[in-house]
Amino acid sequence: MVRLAALAMVLLAELGCARGAPIAWPPPESGPLRDVWVVRHGWHTRIAVRRADVDPLIWPESQALGPVAYVEVGWGDRDFYPADDPSIWDAIDAVIRPTPAALHVGGFDPPPPAFLPGNAMVRVPVPAESFERLTRYLHDSYERTAAGDPIAIRPGYYPRSRFYLATGSYHAFNTSNTWTARALQVAGAPVTPAGTVTAGRVMAQARRIGQAIQPAGAGRGAQPALDAARPGADNTLRSTPSAAEDRTMDSSTNGLGLEPEEIRARVARWTEETRYIERRLQEVEERAARLTDVDRTTARLQREVEILLGENRRLREERAEIAAAARAIVNFPVLNELLKRLATPGA
């Protein structure tokens, strides 16, 4: 019953997302602007930014994934979020009780709409000064060792991504979407984190202040994004067909039902995935070689131990023989009489 009540609460919150009127944003006096993408991944939302816009002194962890063009960050339950194949009840369990949190930090080179064409997202411009506050918020979301280092716990969903231990506790009223809304609020955007527990609600608030980018490539012949089979993938259904779904396969779409931009985006994702697989294969081969060396070393040590044990047995036997001989000499009568005479003065 608790699970059903929690599920009903989440679904009602999702259905209750209102489409408010647009808000004038950013303010006219904002000065230089930085783009922030709010990306929907099913139940979750994440924040993506250009790495070139990030001051590494404020958010040094943004450099950990190598020379990527964009960095995306999401926050969620430490058990459910990194799981390979969580069930709906895993998600609900993460909601009904406070649990530790994890960060997913991913890097990629194509712009977010090209890298994740199957995901709804909103591009929100924020003032440069506010953007620095946002990156500090991201930096402060990492849980750290006593030495101040972030704690990586496993590879992430993308070829270049990792999960880290995160600060805070995940529960029904402090979800990944609350975290995303709080990030936008830190950046000065007019959003309300309180009560923002679903992806639909945070996306609705983001659309009032930014440019909505609808999922592309969802028509015939389309393939899911890299993490579509992962927890948080956007598998929601639309009630009306999109323009992409109404396309027919003709010469203008290369006979595949795909626009050239979609093809280029897929090639970019497949290239990323191929590189990731090649790196993992190399890691496996190196680990296998190390294990082979360990096996050889173990066999050599076992042989040396057997030799030493044999030597130990031999020495014990020789010591027993010497001790027996010494006792026989001491007990020999003639030798005892001679020793007595030698010990008697004037004998």
Which is higher by pLDDT, 149 or 97? 149
Q: Is residue 265 part of a domain?
A: no
Q: Identify the bridge partners of residue 108 per DSSP, sorted by sequence position.
A: 70
For 297-305, what is the mean pLDDT? 78
Q: Is residue 290 part of a domain?
A: no
pLDDT tier at 329, thresholds 50, 70, 90: low
Find the helix or strand (DSSP H, E) in which 128 lies.
helix 128-140
What is the chain's Cα-based Rg? 34
Query: What percentage of the chain has pLDDT greater than the value 90?
Result: 40
pLDDT for the residue 335 = 58
> Rounded to an integer, what distance in angstroms lies between the CA atom of residue 39 and that of residue 42?
10
Q: Is residue 66 part of a domain?
A: yes
Return the structure tokens found at 248: 């027919």
In angstroms, the first-to-last Cα distance of the chain is: 109
pLDDT for the residue 153 = 93
Where would I find the beta strands (DSSP E) of 84-231?
99-108, 121-127, 152-155, 161-170, 211-213
Q: Is residue 342 part of a domain?
A: no
> Rounded to an integer, what distance in angstroms lies between the CA atom of residue 297 and that of residue 275?
33
Which is higher by pLDDT, 200 or 231? 200
Return the structure tokens found at 242: 């999109």
pLDDT tens-digit series, residues 109-149: 999 999 999 999 999 999 999 999 999 999 999 999 999 99
pLDDT for the residue 37 = 97
Residue 320: C-alpha distances to residues 35, 262, 317, 327 (Å)? 86, 86, 5, 11
Which of 75-84, 150-159, 216-225, 316-325 is the least confident region? 216-225
pLDDT tens-digit series, residues 281-300: 676 677 777 777 777 777 77
Q: Is residue 87 part of a domain?
A: yes
Which of 140-144, 169-173, 174-178, 335-339 is the least confident region? 335-339
pLDDT for the residue 317 = 77
pLDDT at 7 exceeding the cut of 50 = no
Q: Is residue 154 part of a domain?
A: yes
For 92-110, what is the mean pLDDT? 83
pLDDT for the residue 124 = 95
DSSP-based three-state secondary structure for 195: coil
For 196-213, what is the mean pLDDT? 92
The whole-chain average pLDDT of the chain stands at 76
Domain count of the fold of the chain? 1
pLDDT tier at 265, thresholds 50, 70, 90: low
pLDDT for the residue 275 = 67
Return the structure tokens found at 130: 């506010």
Q: Identify the bridge partners of residue 106 per DSSP, sorted by sequence position.
A: 72, 161
pLDDT at 321 exceeding the cut of 80 = no
Give residue for tokens 């979609």. 262
pLDDT at 223 exceeding the cut of 60 = no
Q: Is residue 319 part of a domain?
A: no
Q: Which domain holds residue 36?
A: 2-236
pLDDT tens-digit series, residues 237-254: 333 333 343 333 333 334
pLDDT tier at 205, thresholds 50, 70, 90: very high
Q: Is residue 152 part of a domain?
A: yes
